[in-house]
Amino acid sequence: SQQGEEDPQALSIQEGENATMNCSYKTSINNLQWYRQNSGRGLVHLILIRSNEREKHSGRLRVTLDTSKKSSSLLITASRAADTASYFCHYSGGSNYKLTFGKGTLLTVNP
């Protein structure tokens, strides 16, 4: 399967702690994005990192990309209960610009 792998599959933390999610992929990529999906809702774009970038920040989010290891990580600092959601990496790459989602990490932030 070309589907990206994310780990952990589920993560439960306390409010105020940091959460780190990882995404590994199999093809060369043009860019990688992270999305959030609240239960029963559509996906919301969080951040995009291009293949020539190594790190990007947006508010409490920090994304890293290591193209040599074909992996990316999403760090959410000072988590809040409202951060409870599933997080997916999404990337395009390969000769036919195949679009692929990771399998997702379910994050639960306990108040």
Using CB under 8 A as the binding rule, whether residue 54 contacts other proteins is answered as: no
Shortest gap between Cβ of 49 and other proteins (angstroms)? 12
- Rule CB under 8 A: is residue 3 a binding residue for other proteins? yes
What CA–CA distances, in Å, run from 68 to 8, 21, 38, 54, 77? 21, 18, 31, 11, 25
Q: Is 48 in the site for other proteins (CB under 8 A)?
A: yes
* Closest CB 43 distance from other proteins, rounded Å: 4
At 82, is the secondary structure helix, strand, or coil?
Answer: helix
Strand partners, 101: 90
Determine, following the binding rule CB under 8 A, whether residue 30 of this chain makes contact with other proteins. Answer: yes
Expressed in percent and rounded to 5, the helix, strand and coil fractions of the chain are 5, 60, 40
Residues 78-97 that bind other proteins (CB under 8 A): 86, 88, 90, 92, 96-97
**Residue 84 in tokens:** 């409870």
Q: What is the nearest approach in angstroms of other proteins to the Cβ of residue 92?
A: 5
Is 61 a binder of other proteins (CB under 8 A)?
Answer: no
Rounded Cα distance between 97 and 82, Å, is 33
Coil, strand or helix at 26? coil
Residues that bind other proteins (CB under 8 A): 3, 30-31, 33, 35, 37, 41-45, 48, 86, 88, 90, 92, 96-101, 103-104, 106
